[in-house]
Structure 1
């Protein structure tokens, strides 16, 4: 299992609240499946980050691109494999 950091850059702040609950529900569903390691907004309002737990970059990409924020263009996705240091 690998970790992938999805940085969700704010693109359309005027639509953020409209899609927020769908985004949170989506992440909650993935969390129950063990696909979310960590998540949260940036305190400066510029977006947020989700760290996915996935087998491949392709799986992580599919999970991240299915987020309602990304689907609606509210946020722009930047995805990187994360080498967590313990």
Structure 2
């Protein structure tokens, strides 16, 4: 498995807020499956950071394709990069 960091920049804010409940339900499902480590918007709501635990970038791109935010076209990807965490979580 690999950890991927995804940074988003939001756009089409009215549409994004309409779709957000479905997006968050989707993230909850991913969390239950162990596919997402954590996620959340920037404090100013201009974008978000998400950390995924997946087998490959290909798997992650499939996950993103199924995200309601993707279909609604409410973000641009700023960064999608495999990440090597220095400290494991949860902290021991």
- Scaled by the length of structure 1, the TM-score of the pair is 0.91
Q: For structure 1, which runs of at least 5 residues remain unmatched after alignment?
A: none
Distance in structure 1 (CA, Å) of the matches to 2:34 and 2:47? 23
- Residue matched to 1:55: 55
Q: For structure 2, which runs of at least 5 residues remain unmatched after alignment?
A: 88-92
Q: Give the secondary structure class of the aligned counterpart of 2:19.
A: helix
- Higher mean C-alpha displacement, 74-83 vs 35-44: 74-83
- Residue matched to 1:21: 21
Check the 8 A contact 2:16/2:72 in 1, yes or no: no
| Structure 1 position 83, deviation (Å) | 1.5
Compare CA radii of gyration and give the structure with the larger one: 2
- Residue matched to 2:85: 84
| Structure 1 position 64, deviation (Å) | 2.0
- Scaled by the length of structure 2, the TM-score of the pair is 0.85
2:91 corresponds to 1:71: no
Q: CA RMSD in A?
A: 1.2
In the TM superposition, structure 1's runs of 4+ consecutive aligned residues that sit over 3 Å from their partners are none
Q: Give the secondary structure class of the aligned counterpart of 1:44.
A: coil
Check the 8 A contact 2:7/2:48 in 1, yes or no: yes
Distance in structure 2 (CA, Å) of the matches to 1:42 and 1:16? 15
User: How many residue pairs get matched?
Assistant: 86
